Amino acid sequence: MNSPDNNRLEQQEIDASAKWPVLTFLGSALCWLVLGGALQLGAALQLHTPAFLGGCEWFTYGRLAPAAQNALVYGWGMNAAFGFGLWLMARLSASALRHGGWLFVAAQFWNLGITLGVLGILTGASTSFELLELPRFVTVLLLVAYALIGLWAVSTFCLRNTEHVYVSQWYLFGAAFWFPWLYTVAQVMLFQAPVRGALQPLVNAWYVNGLYGLWFVPVALAAAYYFLPKILGRPLNYFYLPAAGFWCLVVATAFSGGSRLIGGPVPSWVATLGTVANFVAVPAVVMISMTLFGTLAGRYAALKESITLRFVFLGLLGFVAASLLNFALSLRSVAVLLQFTLVGELRDWLLFYGCFSTMMFGAAYFIVPRLTGRAWRSGALVRAHCGATALGLVVLTVTLLAAGWQQGKLLNDPAVPFADLTKAMLPWFTARSVALMLLAVGHLAFFVNFCWSVCPFGSAAEAPAEFHLPPAMSLPAKEGHA
Amino acid sequence: MNPPPDKHTLEQAGASDESIRQVHTQLAHEKPEQAGGGYAAYPLVLLGLMCSSIFFGSIYLAHYSSHFDPLIYNENAKPVAGGPAVPVVTPAMLGKRVYTNICMTCHQQNGQGQAGVYPPLAGSEWAQGSEERIIRIVLHGLSGPITVEGKEFNNAMTPLGTVLKDEQIANVLSFVRQEWGNTAPEVKAETVARIRAETASRTQPWTAAELEKLGK
Amino acid sequence: MKNGLTLFLGVFATLALSWAGVLLTAQRQFGGLAQYKDPADESLNPAALSGIADQGRMVYQDLGCVSCHTQQVRREGFGADIGRGWGTRQSVARDYLREKTVLIGQARLGPDLRNAAARPYADAEYFYNLLYAPQSVAPGTNMPSYDFLFDVRPASDQPSPHALRLTGRFAPAPGTQIVPSRRADELVAYLLSLKDTYDYPEARPFVEPKQKEGGH
- Residues 32 through 51 of chain C touching chain A, CB cutoff 8 Å: 33
Residues A155 and A249 in one domain: no
In a domain, A205, yes or no: no
The answer on B98 and B48 residing in a single domain is no
- Are the Cβ atoms of A164 and C2 closer than 8 angstroms? yes
Give the H or E element holding residue C152: strand C150-154
Q: Decide if C23 touches B, using CB distance below 8 A.
A: no
Choose the closest CB to A272 out of B14, B56, B64: B64
Burial environment of residue C172 by CB neighbours within 10 A (0 to 12, 13 to 18, 19 or more): middle
Give the residue from A471, A450, A308, A458 showing the smallest Cα distance to A375.
Answer: A450
In a domain, C212, yes or no: no
Map residue A205 onto helix, strand or coil.
Answer: helix
**A45 lies in a domain?**
yes
C72 in B contact zone (CB under 8 Å): no
User: Nearest CA of chain B to the CA of C92: how many Å?
Assistant: 7
* pLDDT score, position A9: 61
Across the interface, of B74, B91, B98, the residue whose CB is closest to C206 is B74
With beta carbons under 8 A apart, name residues in chain B contacting A382: 8-9
Indicate whether B130 belongs to any domain: yes
User: Which residue, B20, B54, B81, sits at the end of a domain?
Assistant: B81
Q: How many distinct structural domains can be found in chain B? A: 2
**Cβ neighbours around A147 below 10 Å, total:** 13
Asked, for residue A288, whether it belongs to a domain, the answer is: yes
Q: Do A273 and C22 touch (CB under 8 A)?
A: yes
Domain for residue A304, yes or no? yes
Residue A228 lies in a domain: yes
Query: Are B167 and C41 an interchain contact pair (Cβ–Cβ within 8 Å)?
Result: yes
State the average pLDDT for chain B.
82
Q: Which of C197, C194, C202 is nearest to C45 (CA)?
A: C197
Q: How far is B171 from chain C (nearest CA, A)?
A: 8
Give the closest of C8, C26, C66 to A128, CB-based. Answer: C66
- Pick the closest to residue A274 from A248, A306, A252 (CA basis): A252
Instruction: Name every chain A residue with its beta carbon within 8 A of the beta carbon of B46.
Output: 241, 244, 283, 286-287
Q: Dihedrals φ, ψ of C45, to 5°?
A: -130, 145
Contact between A200 and A340 (Cβ < 8 Å): no
Coarse DSSP helix, strand, coil percentages of chain B, rounded to the nearest 5 percent: 45, 10, 45
User: Nearest Cβ partner of A166 from B20, B65, B70?
Assistant: B20
Q: Are residues B110 and B41 in the same domain?
A: no
Q: How high is the pLDDT of residue C215?
A: 39
Inter-chain contact A467–B15, Cβ cutoff 8 Å? no
Q: According to the model, what pLDDT value does residue A62 have?
A: 95
My answer on whether B208 and B104 are in the same domain is yes
Alpha helices in B65-103 (DSSP H): 91-98
pTM of this structure: 0.87
CA angle A338, A343, A346 (to 5 degrees): 155
Same domain, A249 and A365: yes
ipTM of the complex in this document: 0.94
**Residue B213 and residue B127: Cα distance in Å, rounded?**
16
What pLDDT, on a 0 to 100 scale, did the predictor assign at position A239?
76
Helix intervals (H) in chain C:
4-18, 25-30, 51-62, 124-132, 134-137, 182-193, 209-212
CATH code of the domain covering residue B120:
1.10.760.10
C40 and chain B in contact, CB less than 8 A: yes
B49 domain residue, yes or no: yes
**What are the DSSP E strand ranges found in C35-144?**
36-37, 44-45
Q: Do residues B122 and B110 lie in contact, with contact meaning Cβ atoms separated by under 8 Å?
A: yes
Give the count of domains, chain C.
Answer: 1
The span from the CA of B148 to the CA of B154, in Å, is 11
Give the pLDDT score at A264: 94
Q: What is the tens place of the pLDDT at every residue in C24-52?
A: 999 999 988 988 887 666 778 898 999 99
Indicate the pLDDT class of residue C144, thresholds 50, 70 and 90.
very high
Nearby residues of A379 by Cβ (< 8 Å), 6 or more positions away? B6, B7, B8, B9
**A62 → closest Cβ in C14, C63, C104:** C63
**A379 with A350, same domain?**
no
Contact: B21, A92; criterion CB under 8 Å: yes
Identify all chain A residues contacting C103, using CB atoms and an 8 Å cutoff.
Answer: 128-129
Q: Tell me how close the Cα of B88 comes to any Cα of chain A, in angstroms.
A: 22
Chain B residues in contact with A381 (beta carbon < 8 A)? none
Using CA atoms, how far apart are residues A269 and A259, in angstroms rounded to an integer? 10
Confidence grade of residue B86 (pLDDT, cut at 50, 70, 90): low
Q: What's residue C80's pLDDT?
A: 94
| pLDDT tens digit sequence for C184-203 | 999 999 999 999 878 787 88
Helices (runs of H) and strands (runs of E) counted in chain C: 7, 4
**A299 in B contact zone (CB under 8 Å):** no
pLDDT of residue B81: 54
Determine, for residues C100 and A194 on separate chains, whether the beta-carbon distance falls below 8 Å: yes
Inform me whether the C-beta atom of residue C139 falls under 8 Å from chain B C-beta atoms.
no
Chain C neighbors of B167, CB-CB under 8 A: 40-41
- Determine the Cα–Cα distance for residues A16 and A10; give it in Å rounded to an integer: 9
Task: Using CB atoms, list chains with 3+ pairs below 8 Å to chain B.
Answer: A, C
C62 domain residue, yes or no? yes
Per-residue pLDDT, A83: 97
State whether B109 and B204 are in the same domain: yes
Per-residue CA distances from C110 to A341, B17, B93, C138, C197 (Å):
11, 52, 32, 11, 22
Between CA A241 and CA A248, with CA A245 as vertex, the angle to 5 degrees is: 140
Strands (E), chain B: 142-148, 151-157
Contact call for A127 and C101, based on CB within 8 A: yes
Query: What is residue C212's predicted lDDT score, i.e. its pLDDT?
Result: 41
Judged by phi (left if over 0) then psi (alpha if -120 to 50, else beta), residue A467 lies in beta
Tell me the one-letter amino acid at C159.
P
Bigger pLDDT: C180 vs B41: C180
**List of residues 6+ apart from A119 with CB closer than 8 A:** none
Instruction: Mutation target for A interface from C7, C62, C95: give the one with most A CBs within 10 A.
Output: C62
Q: What is the mean pLDDT of residues B151-169?
A: 86
Whether A482 sits inside 8 A of B77 (CB atoms) is no
Same domain, A384 and A308: no
Does B57 share its domain with B152? no
Looking at the structure, do residues B139 and B206 belong to the same domain, yes or no?
yes
Query: Is-contact C108 C142, C-beta < 8 A?
Result: no
- Span B77-86, mean pLDDT? 59
Q: Which region, left, alpha or beta, applies to residue B83 given φ > 0 means left and ψ of -120 to 50 means alpha? A: left
Model pLDDT for residues A371-400, shown as the tens digit of each residue: 988 889 899 999 999 999 999 999 999 999
Same domain, A240 and A366: yes
Together in a domain, A319 and A419:
no
B3 domain residue, yes or no: no
Range of the domain at B70: 34-81
Please indicate, yes or no, if residue A433 is contained in any of the structural domains: yes
CA-CA-CA-CA dihedral for C52, C58, C62, C63, to nearest 10: 50
Give a yes or no: residue B9 inside a domain: no
Same domain assignment for residues B142 and B181: yes
pLDDT reported for residue A333? 94
Find which of C35, C142, C170 to mutate to test the A interface (most A CBs within 10 Å of its CB): C142
Q: What is the pLDDT of residue A1?
A: 43
- Collapsing DSSP states into helix, strand and coil, what is residue B155? strand
Do B43 and B127 share a domain, yes or no? no
Of the pLDDT bands very low, low, confident and very high (cuts 50, 70, 90), residue C213 is very low
Residue A411 lies in a domain: yes
Is A283 in the B-facing interface, judged by CB distances under 8 Å?
yes
- Chain C nearest-CA distance from B70, in A, is 6
Residues B53, B75 within the same domain: yes
Residue C155 lies in a domain: yes
CB contact under 8 A, C75 and B73: yes
User: Which chain B residues contact residue C204 at CB under 8 A?
Assistant: 87
Q: Are residues A39 and A134 in the same domain?
A: yes
Please tell me whether residue A468 adopts helix, strand or coil conformation: coil
CB of C95 within 8 Å of a chain A CB? The answer is yes
Decide if B24 is inside a domain.
no
Return the DSSP state at A325. Answer: H
Domain boundary among A309, A344, A373: A373
Contacts of C30 in chain B (CB under 8 A): 70
- Chain C segment 176-205 residues within 8 A of A by beta carbon are none
* Within a domain: B145: yes
Q: Sorting pLDDT into bands at 50, 70 and 90, what band is B80?
A: low
Is there a single domain that holds both residue A319 and residue A386? no
Provide the pLDDT for residue A5.
58
Task: Identify whether residues A334 and A396 lie together within a single domain.
Answer: no
Residue of A nearest to C82 (CA): A414
| pLDDT at res. C120 | 85
Asked, for residue B13, whether it belongs to a domain, the answer is: no
Question: Contacts of residue A217 in chain C, CB cutoff 8 Å?
Answer: none
Task: Answer yes or no: is B204 within a domain.
Answer: yes
> Of A165, A183, A206, which one is at a domain's C-terminal end?
A165
What CATH number does residue A69 fall under? 1.20.120
Longest dimension (CA), chain B: 119
pLDDT < 70 positions in chain A: 1-11, 458-463, 476-482
B5 or B211: which leads in pLDDT: B211
Same domain, B116 and B49: no
In terms of domains, do A330 and A426 share one? no
Quote the domain boundaries for residue C123.
36-204
CA–CA distance, A11 with A15 (Å, rounded to integer): 6
**Domain stop point among B62, B81, B100:** B81
- Rounded to a whole number of angstroms, the distance from the CA of B73 to the nearest CA of chain C is 7
Please state the separation of Cα A387 from the chain's center in Å: 19
Closest approach of B202 to chain A, Cα-based (Å)? 47
Whether C2 maps to a domain, the answer reads no
**Do A156 and A262 lie in a common domain?**
no
Question: Residue A162 has what DSSP assignment?
Answer: -
Residue C18 falls within a domain, yes or no?
Answer: no
- Chain A contacts of C137, Cβ < 8 Å? none
Is residue A188 in a domain?
Answer: no
The CATH number for C179's domain is: 1.10.760.10
Does the distance separating the beta carbons of C31 and A264 come in below 8 Å? no
Looking at beta carbons, which pairs linking A245-248 to residues 24 or more positions away fall under 8 Å? A245/A284, A245/A287, A245/A288, A245/A291, A246/A167, A246/A170, A246/A171, A246/A174, A247/C10, A247/C14, A248/A280, A248/A281, A248/A283, A248/A284, A248/A287, A248/B50
Q: Are residues B127 and B48 in the same domain?
A: no
Q: Please say whether the beta carbons of C70 and C104 come within 8 A.
A: yes
Residues 31 to 90 of A: which have CB under 8 A from any C CB? Answer: 46-48, 50, 54-57, 60-63, 65-66
Size of interface B-C (CB pairs under 8 A): 45
A243 & A108 share domain: no
Distance from C-alpha of A25 to C-alpha of A12, rounded to nearest angstrom? 20
Interface membership of C90 toward B (CB under 8 Å): yes
CB A255 within 8 A of CB A205: no
Per-residue model confidence as pLDDT tens digits over B25-35: 887 776 655 55
Of A117, A28, A313, A359, residue with least CA distance to A221 = A359
Q: What is the rounded average pLDDT for all residues in chain C?
A: 88
One domain for residues B128 and B46:
no
Give the domain range for residue A291: 224-373
